[in-house]
Structure formats: C-alpha cells, structure tokens
Amino acid sequence: MNGSYLESDIVEIADRLGEKADLLAGKTVLLTGARGFLGRYFTGVFAHLNENRLDKPCFVIALDNLITSGEAGEAIPDLPHFTFFCHDVIEPFVPDDKVDFVVHAAGIASPFHYRAHPMETLEVAIWGTRNMLNMTRRDDASFTFFSSSEIYGDPDPRHVPSPESYRGNVASQGPRACYDESKRIGETLCYIYHEYHGVHANIIRPFNVFGPGMQKTDYRVLPNFAAHLQEGEPLNVYGSGAQTRTFCY
C-alpha cells in the first residue's frame, strides 16, 4: 500500500491530537511491537511530533523481536530520539531511564502467524504484559494495552454489534484460543495492577485493523484481497461468503 497515504495519515493523526500532543514533550515512551503495523504508525507519529510540534523532544524506546515484522518491519529507521532494541518482551526489560508512557502493542494478531507461533502468541500477551506492567509500576508511568475485539469471541446475534460490557463467547481450545484467551488474561492483568497496585492502565480493543503500510505477508483478508488484485488474480472467498467482519482503518 502506498507510502504517501501513510505519510498523510501520520500528519492527520498528529493534527487531531491537538494540545494533547504537548503532554509528550520531554517525556519517554516505551513502545513494544514497534516494528509491527500499528507500531510503525506510532513511530511515525512520534517522529512527526518531534520535528513539527514539540518544544522538547519525545524520546522513544522501541522494542520488537521481529519474528513477524516482515521486510518493512526489519528496516529499522534512523530517527533522532529513537532507540531500537531487538528484544522479546516475554523477558523483562529494564531501561536505565525513567519511562513516562508504555504502549504495549506487541502481539501476533494474524491467524496465519499465530497458528505458526501459538506459544509465542500466548506468552507475549501474558508474560509480556506482566513484564511491561511491572516496569510501569516501577516508574509510576501510564500503561496502554492493545487488546483485541477477539476477546468477544463468537457473539450470538443478540450481541452483534457487541457492547463493551459483553463478556464474550470464547473457546478455550482451538486454533484461535492462543490469541483470544491470552488477550483476555492480558486485560485481567491490567485490572489487577490497577486495582491492587494503582497502575494507570488503559485497554484498547481494535477490530480487524487495516491501512497503508500493511504487508502482503500479514495474510489477513484485506491484504490478501489487495495482493490478489495487484497480481490480477481472482479473490478467494472461503466458506459461504455470508461472514461479516468489522474493520478499523
């Protein structure tokens, strides 16, 4: 997908933040999953704010183990105030400097990849989340956890659309369970650390994200369609074709 759209998106996101962006001035952000699809968006926004908005730069500590990052993710940018570590967050990471914000976006969201790496998928959402919460607690930072709409599982028709209060219909066994159940545990960890340790924790539940910068090697439905169209190949629709999905740009 065309990089010019990605660049215009980054500018628009930064503009929409308005004065809230100034909260990042002089602060340190730890970003996990920094070379994934969403992580690269975050990196671009932070770089744009440093160059065009903030009177004091925002320092970004970027972590990724690169196992599903693809060609675009492995191309580490050389940006001022940006430090990259090839690190798997299932192991503790303790930076020398105090961190103000933690954005835990590490995860294996593509069914193609989480079926190939089920244990890694499980561990990053459980041990990775716990490690990042421990570091957040140490520094009295603010924590944001990227959960998933998959915590709702397979809602019955009465719960579609699904309200945030819906508790879900999730199978503990099957090829999706490593992702769905681990994200649910990740949310529970956020709750525990907030209730018992006073950690300021936010939870985000994205639905089937897509957009410029998504790679063919993601293998989810929209990049698959785009790749087939680009190659002039017919689109493959599996099952009855009556499935519905909520997509988030």
In sequence order, what are the residues at sequence separation of 6 or more whose Cβ sits closer than 8 angstroms to the Cβ of residue 107? 33, 36, 121, 124, 125, 146, 148, 179, 183
Tokens of 54: 């903030």
Identify the sign of the CA torsion 8, 13, 18, 20.
Answer: negative
Phi and psi at residue 84, to the nearest 5°: -105, 135
Active-site option among 152, 179, 193, 196:
179
Neighbours of 162 (CB within 10 A): 18
Judge whether 114 counts as a catalytic residue: no
Tokens of 58: 């925002």
Instruction: Identify the three-state secondary structure at position 244.
Output: coil
Quote the crossing angle between the two packed helices 118-139 and 177-197, to the nearest 10°.
10
Residues assigned a catalytic role: 179
